[in-house]
Structure 1
Amino acid sequence: MATNERPVSDDCPTANGMPMLGLGTWKNSDPAACADSVATALETGYRHIDTAQAYNNEAAVGDGIEQAAVDREEVFLATKIWIDNLAYDDVLETAEASLDRLGVDSVDLLYVHWPSRTYDAENTLAAFNELYEQGKIDRIGVSNFEPEQVAEAIAVSDAPIFANQVECHPLLQQPELRKVCADHDVELVAYSPLARGAVFDVPEINDIADDHGVSPAQISLAWLRAEGVTAIPKATGEDHISDNWASLSVELSEGELETIRNIGTTDRRVDPGFAPWN
C-alpha cells in the first residue's frame, strides 16, 4: 500500500509527510480540556496530533479534531497500541476500537507503544501489516524501541517501519538510537522533548534563549528540529501551545547547536521497569 501524503500547514516542515512539530496529549485526560487543547492547536497551525490507548483520551482527541475548523484530511493523526493488547487478535480488535473512539476510518500512524508484555515481533507486526493492507493505518511505527528492537522490527515487517517514538531532548540526546534510525530511514519522534520542564533549568539553553529573546522551550524544540527529530510536546493551555508553535521561527547557529550537543547530561524522565533498557 502506498503511503498517503496529507497536506500540512505551510509554516511547519515535514519529515516524509509527517509534520515535525505536533501536539502530545499524554496525561491530558479531562475530556473537555483535551478536546479544547487539540482544537486550539489545530487552529494555531498544528497538523500533527499524538495520542494512545493508554492515555484514555482518544475520544476527546477525536472530539477536538471535529471541533476545529480544520478538515480531517489535513491532520496527521497518530495513536498507539498498549502493551496488554499486542497479541495478534488483540491488535486487530483494539485498533478498531481506537478508530471508533477517534471517530475516523484510519490513522496516519499506528505505533507499538512498548516492546513489552504481550509484544512478539512476528505476531504483533503481522497484525499491524494486516491493518496496513486494509487501509486502516497509513504507516507503522514503534515506540520506546532500542536499536536491536528497531532492527528486528524492520526485519520481520513487510511494510516499512516509519518511525520510532522515544524520549529525546537536550538532556537525553539518544545519539546511537538516532544514528540507527537514520541508517534505516526510520524517523525519530521525540516525546517529553522539554524533559518535563527540566530544560528550563539548563544554563546553556537559558543563555541561548536570552540571546534570541525566546523561551527555553523554543530553543529545545528548535534544536530537535535542526537535528532532524520530530517533537510532540504536551501542552494544554493556549499560551504554551502558541509558545511551542513559535519555535518554528527560531533558527540556531551551528555554534549554538554544538553548545547544546555538548551539554553532556543524561537525564531519562520515563523509565518503567518493563522498558527494554531495564
Structure 2
Amino acid sequence: MESFRVKLAEGSSVKKVIGVVSGKGGVGKSLVTGLSACAMNRKGYKVGVLDADITGPSIPKMFGVKPIRYADENGNMIPAETDNGIKAVSINLLMENDTDPVIWRGPVIAGVVKQFWGETSWGDVDYMFVDMPPGTGDVPLTVFQSLPVDGIIVVATPQELVSMIVEKAINMAKMMDIPVIGIVENMSYMTCPHCGKPIYVFGEGKIDSYAASRGIDVLAKIPLDPEFSKKCDEGKIEEYIPDFMDSLVYKLEQL
C-alpha cells in the first residue's frame, strides 16, 4: 500500500492521522470530527481537519470558517483557520456558494481528497482528523491507501441496525490493516431538564455489549443537546466544552 501514498507538501508535517468513519450516513461523523478536533486543540495540540466528505461537507459551517481564496508561493492551498487555530480544508471553502452541489464521479472526488492532503500547506500538525463520507466506497478506500492513517474512530447510533453497519466499517478497516481506535455512539440519550436523568430517545443502545464482543473500546456517548446544535448552527462548535470526550482524548494520546 506504500506505493499509493501521497506525499505531503514541502514544509508540512502530520504526526497522527485519524479517520472518522461510519457504514451509513446521518450518524454524526462530522460532529464527532469537530468535537475530537476541538478536544485535542484544547489539550494544546496542533490540529487539522481534512473534510473528505466532498458531496456533503459540513465542517466549514460548524467552525464558522471563511472560504480559502489564496495559495502559498508553491501554489499549495493555505488552509482556513478557526478562532482557536484549528486548520481546515473543505470543498465548501473553495466554492462560490456553499449551497452549490458537487456533481462529480468517484475518481474525481478521490483525486480532490488527495490534493487536500498533498497540495495543502498544512505546516506542523499533531493530529489530523479526516471526516469521511459514509460507506466503504471510493473515498474511504482512497484515504486508507493514500494517507498514513494511524487508526479510525467508528461513529454509530443506538438503533439495533447499527451493529451490522458498524461491522462493515470495521471489516473494511481490518482488510486495509487500519487499527480501530474505538466507537463513538451519537444521539445516545438526552438529559431530562427536570430530574437530570438520561432519556433514551431511540432506545437504550447495545453498543457496549457489541464493542465488548469485538474487543473495541467505546470512546464516548454523545447526548442530544439543543445547546450543542445551536453552537454548530452558529459556527461556534469551539465554544461548546463537553464532559464526555475524556476517554477519547486519552486513547488518542496513547497512539
Above 0.5 in TM-score? no
More helix, by proportion: 1
More strand, by proportion: 2
* Greater relative CO (CA pairs within 8 A, separation 6+): 2
- Shorter-normalised TM range: 0.3 to 0.5
